[in-house]
Amino acid sequence: MPVKPILTALLLLSAIAHAAEPLRVLCFNLRYINKGDTGDRTWTARRDQAADVILKDKPDLIGIQEGLRPMLD
């Protein structure tokens, strides 16, 4: 994933929106899908909680760690 162009675009957007409303950023560690997880630790058990946090906080920008493609689709 090309990180530099994305960061450049974000910096430009932040400069343009400087006088506008604050930018709401959410940094979220989803914790990757681990085949050894059981019960409340499985992704299917955690995904609704993750979605609830995102919907409640209404971020403008979301940073994701450990998000595998099946988790983000």
| pLDDT in the model for residue 53 | 92
- Of 19-28, 30-39, 41-50, the one with minimum mean pLDDT is 19-28
Give the model confidence (pLDDT) of 27-38 as tens digits.
Answer: 989 888 888 889
**Mean pLDDT taken over the chain:** 86
E strand or H helix that includes residue 4:
helix 3-16
| pLDDT in the model for residue 20 | 65
Q: What φ, ψ does residue 21 adopt, rounded to 5°?
A: -65, 160
Sign of the CA dihedral 38, 71, 48, 66?
A: positive
Domain-wise residue ranges, the chain: 21-72
Residues 41-60 have a mean pLDDT of 91
pTM above 0.85, yes or no: no
